[in-house]
Structure formats: structure tokens, C-alpha cells
Structure 1
Amino acid sequence: MYDLINKNVCKNGDFTQHEIDYFNSILQNKTVAKKTLLLQDGEVCNFEAYILKGCIRKFYIDEHGHEVILQFAVEDWWVSDIASFHEKKPSKLFIETLEDCELLLLTPETKEKLLVEIPKFERIFRLLVQRNLSSMQNRLIGTIAKTAQEKYLEFIKLYPTISQRVAQHHIASYLGMTAEFLSKTRTKLAKQ
């Protein structure tokens, strides 16, 4: 069960077997059914979840009542509301499973305990935050500067398996367009 997360952690740090065993011992294993809300608007996020199996989406609801998807997360990815988790403030986000999921969770308390006990893990989580920030920055630039076709092609290139696992209206939301417009965009691309 811990092989995937241990490979993920060890590719960015040098850990002894004792340190890895300790890390594994504080992770909470959780199996969650499809369409489960792990976090809702107004709740404080009390987890950082590593995905062993499944697909998750993170979204918010805009002023018109439309879901706006910020992130998809699949196997070997982490998902959380980092601001709510660290600042202990109510979230403005929803995190929902799109498939049955198997997760490994850290709570604020277990993460703090880990960082005190094995400070080398600070680097691992700093790298995760840096990658997340870089990804969000690239996404923001793409949202502003790219055409619908370019956005869709980049999505398929970056996340080839996700497009097979989630509904087209979810992809449209992630790309900032309606499902109808995404359909037209896909038809245009198919004709080229």
C-alpha cells in the first residue's frame, strides 16, 4: 500500500528505512466512494490527501451558481485546500471524488508531528508547494493567453489519462468554457 507514496517521497529526498516506516505509520488510510465530498465550502480543510487510487476534482461555485473546476488529481498526486489547511480558515472550495478512491491522509497534527520528528520532510512539502504554484501560474497564463483549441490540446497533452476518466462537462469547466463550446472545439480539431 505504501510503495507508491514512498517512491514519490524518496525521489526528492534521502530517507532511512526507519524514517520511511515512521512516515507510513502516521498516514491514515481511507477508502472513499465515488461522488463523496471530502471538503465543502465553509468547512476547514483538515487533510492533505495522497491518492493511491481514483480521481478527484477541486472546484468552487461562482456567483452565477456554476461549478468552476480548479484541479483534477489522480494516482500519485496530492490534493487539499492548502490555504484552509495551514491557516485553519473556512474553505471556499469543494473537493469531490469522481471515482472510488483510496487515499493516504495527513492531518495538520500528524503533519506537524512528522515535520518535528523528521525535519527532512520539510523539503518534500516545500517542493510540492513549489510544483503546485508553478502549475497554477502556468494554468493562469494559459487561461489568459491561449485560444480554446490551444487550451484543450494542452490539457490533452499534459493530462492524457484524465480526459478518459472524467465527463466532458468537467473538462469544459476546467478549461473555462461551456460543454457546448468544448464540443464545437473538439469537432473543429477533428476536422483539421
Structure 2
Amino acid sequence: MFDTLFKHLEQKVKLEEQEKALIPVFFKTKKLKKRQFLFQEGDYCKQLAFVSKGIVKSYTTDDKGNDHINLFGWEGWWVSDFRSFICNEKAILSIDAIEDSELLLISKDKYEQLLEAVPIMERYFRILYQNSLVTKDRRLISSNTYTAEEKYKELINTYPFIQQKVPQHLIASYLGVTPETISRIKKNL
């Protein structure tokens, strides 16, 4: 389960062998079946989750019961309700599995211990958070200024495998459009 994590880490930082041996101590493993929740809105998010296999989705649910997908997390992605995790507040997001998934979980205490025991992890997470901010900025700009077709094309160009892995109605939710709009766009392309 840790191969995906180490591959991801080494894309960002250089790890020594003793650091590699130490890192797994801080994590717990969890398997989610398709549609099984990691946590739900209103729970307290007590862990950061690294997706080592599978795909999960992070979303909110409105008053009418409609889901609004915040992000998809596939192999090599971290997912959480960061506000809940950092501030110890109730989660505003829910995370569940789109397909059977395997996760590596780290609690806030273990996260802090990891950063002390393996200092290069501070740099790793700083790089991760910087990239996350850039991605969120791009997503906000796309959401506010692009047409539905432009949003869809950008998503497909960035993640070409998404059409095979994620159902169309979930892609529509992520883009803030209807499934019928996605069908129309695909037909026109």
C-alpha cells in the first residue's frame, strides 16, 4: 500500500532509506468499498487520507439533497476536510468511494510527529499545499469564467482517464452542470 505514497513523495522530495522505513509507522490503512464513507458532513474529520488505490469523491449536499462535488481523489491524491482537520470543527464535506479504494490515514497527532521525525516531510507538505492553492485558483477561475464546454475540455485534457473511471453524472456535478449538458457537449465534440 505504501508504494504509491513513496512514488508520490519522491516526485517532490528526496527520501533517505531510514526515512522510508520510518514513514509507515505514522499511518493506518483503511479499505473502502464502493459508496462507503470515509466520513460524512457533520462528523469531525480526524485524519488526512492518502489514496493509494481507487477513487473517492469529496462533496457537499444542498438542502434539496443534491451533491456538489468538490474534488475527485485518485491514486496519489490526499483528501480530507482540511478545515475540520485543522480547526477541529464539524466537517462540511463528505467523502466516499466511487470504487473500491485503499487509503493511508494519518491523524493530526501522528502528522505532527511525522513532521518532527522526518523533517523533509515539512517541505513535501509545503509543496503539496502550494500546488493545491494553484489548483483551487484554476478551478475557481474556470468555474466563474469558462463555458460548460470549456470546463469539460479542460477537465478531459488534464485528466484524460476520468471518462473511463468516473460516471458522467459525477463529472457533471463536479463541473456544476447537468448530465444532459455533458451528453450534449460530448455529442458536439
TM-score higher than 0.5:
yes
CA distance in 1, matches of 2:11, 2:165: 27
CA-to-aligned-CA distance 1:86-119 (integer Å, 9 cap, x gap): 1111111110101001111111111111112222
Structure 2 equivalent of residue 182 of structure 1: 182
How many Å apart are 1:49 and its aligned residue?
1.1
Q: Secondary structure at the match of 1:11?
A: helix
Structure 1 equivalent of residue 60 of structure 2: 60
Q: Which amino acid aligns with 1:103?
A: L
Structure 1 equivalent of residue 165 of structure 2: 165
Q: Which amino acid aligns with 1:64?
A: K
Q: Which amino acid aligns with 2:17?
A: Q
CA distance in 2, matches of 1:12, 1:155: 23
TM-score normalised by L of structure 1? 0.93
Q: Which amino acid aligns with 2:172?
A: A
Q: Secondary structure at the match of 1:72?
A: strand
CA RMSD of aligned residues (A): 1.2
Structure 1 equivalent of residue 21 of structure 2: 21
* More divergent stretch after superposition (6-15 vs 77-86): 6-15
CA-to-aligned-CA distance 1:44-85 (integer Å, 9 cap, x gap): 111111111101000001243311001011111111111111
Q: Secondary structure at the match of 1:92?
A: coil
Structure 2 equivalent of residue 71 of structure 1: 71
> Within the alignment, does 1:85 sit opposite 2:77 as a pair?
no
TM-score normalised by L of structure 2? 0.95
Aligned sequence identity (%): 38
CA distance in 2, matches of 1:77, 1:145: 26
CA-to-aligned-CA distance 1:123-150 (integer Å, 9 cap, x gap): 1111111111111110110111111111
> Within the alignment, does 1:136 sit opposite 2:142 as a pair?
no
CA distance in 2, matches of 1:131, 1:157: 18
CA-to-aligned-CA distance 1:162-188 (integer Å, 9 cap, x gap): 221111110000010111122122222
CA distance in 2, matches of 1:133, 1:39: 23
Structure 2 equivalent of residue 5 of structure 1: 5
Structure 1 equivalent of residue 109 of structure 2: 109
CA distance in 1, matches of 2:169, 2:91: 24
How many Å apart are 1:120 and its aligned residue?
2.1
CA distance in 1, matches of 2:187, 2:4: 38
